[in-house]
A and B are shown apart, each in its own frame.
Chain A
Amino acid sequence: MAEAPHHVIIGNSIAGIEAAITLRRRDRAAKITLISWEHAHPFARVSLMYMFCGQLSLKDTQFYPEDLYDRMRFARVLDRVTGVDPVARSVTLLSGAAIRYDTLLLAVGSTARRLPWPGAYDEPHFLHHFVTLPDLRALDAAAKKGMSVAVIGGGLIGVEAAEVLHLRGLKTHFLIREPSYFPVALDVAESEVVARHIRSHGVDCRTDNPVDGFLRRGGRIVLRGSDEIEVDLVVGAIGVVPATGFLAGSGIALNAETGGVETGDNLESTSAPGVFAAGDCAQVTWPDGSRRPEQIWYTSRDQGRAAAAAMVGDDVKYRRGTWYNSAKFFNVEYTTAGYIPPALPGPASAGQPPGEGWQTWYQQVPGRAETQRIVSRGGIVKGFNALGRRWDHQVWMRWVQERRPLQWVLEHMKEAGFDEEFTEPFRVLPTATLTEGA
C-alpha cells in the first residue's frame, strides 16, 4: 500500500484553510501540514479594523473553532518559510528544518505595497501599514489620541484605516492620489458621495493629492506633495503585493510585474509541477483576459478550494465567474455585481468590450449617501453598483443571467432589497438619469 500523500500548505488564511478542509474531505488518510508565521488559527483579515477600534477581539475573528486542526488532523507548523526547492520537493524553514511534500500550496497572501519615498523605511517609527497582525500591533502601540496621521491611498484598506484611526481620536488626513476615491469601482458621482460622507465625519479627505516624499521638521513628519501636511504617523495603504519574495530563485516562476505566482488554469505553477498557488499570491486570468492576482476574500476562498481539488488530481479549471463584491466606507455599505465599469467603454477603448448601445441608469437619494447605478447594453442589464442600502447580489446576478431589460429590473428592484425590516423602501426617483454610453 502506497504511503499517504503529504500536502503542505504555506499560509493559513482563507485560501490556505479552505484548501486544507477541502483536501481533508477528499482524502481522509492524507497528511496535511499548514505552515504559518502570523497566527496559530485562521482569522479574518478584514477584521483588522474591528480589532483596532475594539469592536472585536482577535479570538472573535477566528472563523473556525479552535479545535479545527485537531478534528481535521492538520499538522501545525508555526514558522517562516525561507525557501522552496521544487525539484527536491521540500521547503526550508527559518528554524532550519526542512519539510518534504508531495504537493505544495502557496497561499502566502500579500504584504503592504511599500511607499516609494526615499529613506522612508530607514526610520520605521512613523511609517505603518495595515495588512498583517504585526502591522496592527505596531500601529496599535503607536497611535495615541490627539496625534495626527496621514493615510496614503484611496482604496479599501485606506478607508478602513482612516475610519478606525479617526475613531481612536487621531486627527486623520486621508490623502488620495487619484482625482476621485476608489476609481477602480466607483464612478465620479459615487466617489463624490463617499468622499463627502467621509468628510462629514471630520476626516480630512483630499483627492487629487499625491504625496511624493517627506521631510523631518522637529519631531514631526512633513509630507511633500501638492499640499504640505504635518503629521505624527503615516499609514501607507497604496495596495498590496504578493508575499512571494522568498521564492525568488527557487525555480517557481513569478510574474515580473506583480510578483504573483504564475499559474495555469488549474492553479498549478507553470514552472514547478506539484506546486500550486491560491489567494492573493496567485497570478490568475481575469474575465477580461488580463493576468494578475485577485486580492479579494471571496475569490481567495474559491481559489483555495479549487487548488485543493487540483492537488488531489481533479481536472480543475479555475474560473472566477461573475464579478461581485462588497465593502463598507464608514457607514455606507457598498454592493456590486455583474459588469459595471467605473466609466462605460467608448467606441474603441482597449481591453473593454467594444460596441454600441451602452446605457447608464443612475440615481442619488437627496440628503443621503445612497446611490444606485445600473449599466445596460441594448436595454439588457449587465451590472449594478449601489451605495448606502443593502442588496442581494445573487438576485442581481440572476437578472443579468436572465438578460432582464432595464425597465423590468427597475420595476422589480425591491425584490433584490436586503435591508433591515422597516427601512424606508427603495424608490425610483424622478431625478434618476439615463445616459448613453460613457
Chain B
Amino acid sequence: MQEGLLSTYHEPLRNRNLTAWACSAILVAFYVDLYFFDHLEPVARALHLPSKWTLYGLLYTIAMCVGGYFMLQKHGNSRYHTLRTASLIAVQSLLGFLLPLALDFTGRPAYYFSYFFPLKYDILFPGTLKDMPVAVALWFIFGSFVGVPLLVYFKGKRAYCSWICGCGGLAETFGDPWRHLSSRSDRAWRVEQASVHTVLALVFVMFGLVVGDAYAADGSALREVAEHTRSFYSFAVGAVFSGVIGVGLYPLMGTRVWCRFGCPMAALLGLVQKFGRFRISVKKDMCISCGNCSTYCEMGIDVRAYAMANLPIKRASCVGCGMCAHVCPRGVLRLETRADPGPQGSIDVWTVDL
C-alpha cells in the first residue's frame, strides 16, 4: 500500500509545461546525436571508455540508479517495488553494463545477456550466432524461445518487462515521474494495437529475410531486399522509435512510450500473457472509483473500469509494474499468478444472521 501522497500535479516538470518540453527536447537531441553523430566519441575516449556506446551504458545505468532512488523514496515501503527496482538496477548494472564492459576490455565481443529476440533481433542472425561460443548461442536461443516465454506464462510479462528488461528498467526508474501522462483514450489504445503489432510483424519479416539470405546462394536477389529491410528496421525501430521517441518523449507522453507502442518483445510476450496465469484480481464491490489506478498506469490501461465492474484484469499490454495495486487507497487490486484463482466471492445480497 502506498505510503504518503503524491504531489504530481503540483510539479511543473511533470505536467507538460515549458520545462517538460525542454527536458524532452534535450533527451531527443541527446538520442539524435548518439545514434547519428559522433560528438560523444571524444568524450568517451577522454573517460577511457571504449566507445560512445559504453558511455551511453554508463549514463543509462546512472539514470536508472538515480531514478530508482527517487522512485523508492515514494514507493519503497512496498517490498514488491523495492525488490523489482533492485532487480532492474542489478540486471542493468551487471548484465547491461559491467559484464559487456569487462568482455570488451578483454578483447571479446560484448554480449548483453539480459536482452533476447525479438527485442535484440540481431542476436539470432545466423551470421551472429555462428561466431558465438556454443553456450552463449544456446543461452540466447533458449532464453528467446523457451526461458522468457515460460517465465511469462507462469509469472506474467512483468517478470521480463518490470524485473529484467533494461528499457523497462529505465521507464520504471528514470521515467517514473511521468507515468501518469500515458494516454488512456480509446484512440491511444487503437494506435497502440496497430503500432506494436506492426513492429512485431516487421521484425519477423526482416528476420526471415536475413535468415533466408544467409542460406541463399551468393548474390541472390534476396540479399538486397534483406539488407534494405534490415537497415530500415535498425534505423526506424532500433534508433528512432526505441531511442529518440521511446525515451525522448517520456516527459510529454508518459514513460513506456517504446514498450507500449513499439516493442515487439512486449507484443509477443503480451500474447503469452493472455494465455498465461497472470492477472490482476479485483476485490468485489470495494472500488470507490477514485482514479488512482488508471492515472498511475503507465500503459494507459483504464484499470478503474475493470475494478468498478468487478472484472479481473487480463490485458496483453500490462507490464505488471504493480503501481495500480500499490496506489489503490482501498486495496482493491492484487497481482496474482496462482493456478487456482481461489474463491471468487460472487455472492448475492444477504444479511448476517446474528
- The answer to whether A and B come from one shared complex is yes
A61-B290, A61-B291 as given contacts; A333 in contact with B343, CB under 8 Å: no
Interface positions, chain A 302-357, Cβ under 8 Å from B, are 319-324, 326-328, 331, 333, 335, 338-339, 353
Tell me if B9 and A55 are in contact (CB < 8 A): yes
Residue of B nearest to A62 (CB): B291
- Cβ of A57 and Cβ of B79 under 8 Å apart? no
Interchain CB contact under 8 A, B288 and A297: yes
A287 & B351 in contact (Cβ 8 Å cutoff): yes
Cα A55 to Cα B349 in complex, Å, equals 34
Mask of B10-50 contacts with A, CB within 8 angstroms, 1/0: 11000000000000000000000000000000000000000
Q: CA A100 – CA B315 in complex, angstroms?
A: 45
Central interface residue in A298, A319, A331, by most chain B CB within 10 Å: A331
- Closest-by-CB residue of B relative to A296 is B288
Interface residues of B in 57-80 (CB under 8 A from A): 77-80
Select B291's contact among A60, A319, A333, A392, beta carbons within 8 Å: A60
B288 contact from A46, A400, A422, Cβ within 8 A: A46
Given contacts A63-B289, A63-B291, A322-B350, contact A331 B8 (CB under 8 A): no
- Of the candidate stretches A246-254, A264-272, A413-421, the one touching chain B is A413-421
Question: With A353-B354, A398-B345 known to touch, is A420 a contact of B291 (CB < 8 Å)?
Answer: no
Report yes or no: A321 in contact with B350, Cβ–Cβ below 8 A.
yes
A105 beta carbon closer than 8 Å to chain B: no
Neighbouring A residues of B343 by C-beta, 8 Å: 395, 398, 415
| A326/B330 contact (C-beta < 8 A), A56-B9, A167-B5, A338-B352 known | yes
Contact with B along A389-409 (1 / 0, CB 8 A): 011111101101101000000
User: What separation, in Å, do the CA atoms of A128 and B353 have in the docked complex?
Assistant: 42
Contact yes or no, A420 B294, CB < 8 A: no
Residues of B within 8 A of A63 (CB): 289, 291, 304, 308
Q: Which B residue sits closest to A422, measured CB to CB?
A: B79
A133 at interface (Cβ–Cβ under 8 A)?
Answer: no
Prevailing SS type, chain B contact patch: loop
Within the complex, which residue of A14, A46, A390, A398 is in contact with B347, where a contact is CB–CB below 8 Å? A398
State in angstroms the CA–CA spacing of A386 and B295 once bound together. Answer: 27
A115, CB-defined interface residue at 8 Å: no
- Binary contact readout B320-354 vs A (1 if CB under 8 angstroms, 0 otherwise): 00100110011100110000001101010111111
Instruction: Write out, one digit per residue, whether chain B residues 111-150 have a CB within 8 A of any chain A CB (1) or not (0).
Output: 0000000000000000000000000000000000000000
Q: Which B residues touch A423, using CB under 8 A?
A: 78-80
Q: Is the CB of A163 within 8 A of B5?
A: yes
Interface string of A256-294 (1 = CB under 8 A from B): 000000000000000000000000000000010000000
* Inter-chain contact A319/B5, CB cutoff 8 Å: no
Chain A positions 363 through 390: 1 when the CB is less than 8 Å from some CB of chain B, otherwise 0: 0000000000000010000110000001
Judge whether A47 is part of the interface by a CB distance below 8 angstroms.
yes
A50 at the interface (CB under 8 A from B): yes
Instruction: Return the contact of B289 from the options A44, A339, A400, A424 (Cβ within 8 A).
Output: A44
* A243 at the binding interface (Cβ < 8 Å): no
Q: Which B residues are CB-close (under 8 A) to A56?
A: 8-9, 290-292, 295
A211 to B7, CA, bound (A): 32
B102 interfacial contact with A, CB 8 Å: no
B2 at the interface (CB under 8 A from A): yes
Asked if residues A44 and B352 are in contact (CB atoms below 8 Å), the reply is no
Is the pair A420, B290 in contact by a Cβ cutoff of 8 Å? no
A347 CB → nearest B CB, Å: 15
Query: Once the chains bind, are B347 and A421 in contact (CB under 8 Å)?
Result: no
Contact assessment for A333 and B329 in the assembled complex, using a CB-CB cutoff below 8 Å = yes
Given contacts A319-B351, A322-B350, A353-B354, contact A421 B80 (CB under 8 A): yes
Question: What are some 18 contacts across the A-B interface (CB < 8 A)?
Answer: A47-B291, A53-B6, A54-B7, A56-B8, A63-B289, A322-B352, A326-B330, A331-B3, A339-B354, A353-B354, A391-B331, A393-B286, A401-B347, A415-B342, A422-B79, A422-B83, A423-B79, A423-B80
Q: Which 8 residue pairs across A and B have the least CB separation, nearest first?
A: A394-B345, A390-B331, A321-B349, A63-B289, A54-B10, A422-B79, A54-B9, A54-B7
